[in-house]
Amino acid sequence: MRVAEAVVAIIARDRRFLFVKRSDHVAAGRGYWCPVSGRIEPGETQPAALQREVLEEVCQHVVADKKVAEGMSRDGAVLLHYWSCRIIAGTAHVASDEATALRWLTVEGLQRLAPVFEENVRVCEQIAHERGWRA
């Protein structure tokens, strides 16, 4: 059986990361704060999936810069591909019923956020460290 694959968009601006609160009717991550993410459609590249998902969920145009991590979802059903993304246009706002809210958060804010998947916070901590962001 082939495992499903999804992309996770790590979007940063002014030393803050964009997280959305997943709607209660969404099966994956229901009620959790997460980066924008979604399944890769058949024939779609990871960067194309990132662009589509971010545009659909928060109305921002992004470019995938670099793959920063990879890992299985907690239930082992989905291989997650984490990419840092650069905003090229748009102002983030909730544009899909998959999310109920969004926030731009510092690493410290992410560490206090709940509920949140710790692996998402760790990836953001790693990026902040690589970029030399200090508290």
Q: How far apart are CA 95 and CA 121, in angstroms?
A: 23
Q: Which structural domains are found in the chain, ordered by start?
A: 4-130 (3.90.79.10)
pTM: 0.94
Would you tell me how many other CB atoms lie within 10 Å of the CB of residue 96? 16
pLDDT tens-digit profile of 67-120? Answer: 999 999 988 889 999 999 999 999 999 999 989 999 999 999 999 999 999 999
Residue 24: phi and psi, rounded to 5, are -70, -25
**Structure confidence at residue 76 (pLDDT):** 86
Residue with tokens 């200090």: 134
